[in-house]
Amino acid sequence: MNRDIVIVGLNHRTAPVELRERVAFDGALLGETLQCLRALGSVGEGAVLSTCNRVEVVAATSDRDKAFAEVKRFLLEREAAAGESNLEARLYAYAGGEAVRHLFRVAASLDSMVVGEPQILGQLKDYYLAARAAGSVGPVLHRLFHRSFSVAKRVRTETGIASRVVSVSSVAVELAKRIFDRLEDKTVMLVGAGKMGHSVCRHLQRNGVSSLMVTNRTFERAVEVAAEFRGNPIRFEEFSRYLKLADLVIGCAGAPDYLLQPQTVEATLKERKQKAMFFLDLGDRRNFDPLINQVANVYLYDIDDLQSVASENLNGRTGEVLKADEIVDEEVEGFLRWLDSLDQVPTIVALRQRLEEIRQNELEKSLRTSLKGLSEKERRAIEDMTSAMIGKILHAPISRLKNPDEGDEALYIEALKKLFGLEDK
């Protein structure tokens, strides 16, 4: 059975955004990606997670070493397709309890750049649902992901990790405030009006921004978000014409390629008479060509530049992180016990079947001879009584098997097989 768990990936601590985006999974091709992952010989169950801060593969396997090798190659081939070759040194790999612990911490937002931000849990659920729809997860990963959702809920309920409302978008707006001192008199253009874009708008409005332009590939969505925050919708194909009005441009679009090139920005600056422009790129894959940062009077920040603001945000909550980690450790132990119990299942099932066969055979024999002539009601009473007896007989050994002393599990399984003739089960 594929009961070992491995996780291979990279995140904001091990790799810069320009490397993460080269191996990021395209949402439109997720089903195909999961099928390719599932086709690896060592991967019995598989799922992926791809956000602006991490790209990870989660797999259940019966061959840990082979799974490590195949999943690493799976990611390295993605980077090779992008023409690079420095990924391997940035990858981390976890197995067993460490893998479980890692996923629980990710779900609880303890491994996020902005610790405590709630978005990661929604993203994790979305990727789990995608894997379930693709048929790439089975009983082990189903249980692992659902347990991680429960751990996240428990951490948020029992600790103060989320006592301050934090998110990538709120930290981004905090960075913008530091850049400009004040935002009330600035014009902001938002490129991409999805969940992240909507959250950015909310924080911009709370911080006094009154001049907002919103553009999105689907114009109706731009109109909807602009109306909610009293901004102006801009057609996506025309947004570069309006750049000259923006002091701050925030990119949140899910675009496979750069949406802004240096030439466009240089032309915009001429129209602005070289008045400085700031760009904040929050895309999973960057929306703005990093070369625009070399244009005079242009200042470009990406997701990695949020790290210092996010670290300050964590001040005062480090004690809550320790409490959260204690919860995670406790939950990891519980999950590993469940995982270990999977070894016992075939023996328990075989033992139940063996005793049930004996009960049925003896009962039928008696009903044909000594108990012949019983009424239907009396037959049912005999059936119920013998079933109850089997249940009581099995209760103690099965309980012992499920809760063995350390090191005794294999001994009990072997003993039951020999005592009840279960060797071939």
**Catalytic residue set:** 52
Question: What angle in degrees, to the nearest 10, is found between the helix axes of 219-228 and 195-206?
Answer: 20
Using CA atoms, how far apart are residues 225 and 192, in angstroms rounded to an integer?
10
284: which residues sit within 8 A by CB, 6+ positions away? Answer: 21, 24, 50, 51, 52, 254
Q: Work out whether the CA dihedral 160, 166, 171, 174 comes out positive or negative.
A: negative
Kindly state the DSSP code that residue 351 receives in the 8-state scheme. H
Kindly state the DSSP code that residue 420 receives in the 8-state scheme. T
Kindly state the DSSP code that residue 90 receives in the 8-state scheme. G
* Vertex 241: Cα angle to 236 and 242 (nearest 5): 85
Q: Which of 167, 47, 149 is nearest to 106 (CA)?
A: 149
Token pair for residue 78?
């993605």
Residue 110 near residue 93 (C-beta atoms within 8 A): no
Q: Which of 99, 96, 103, 104 is nearest to 155 (CA)?
A: 104
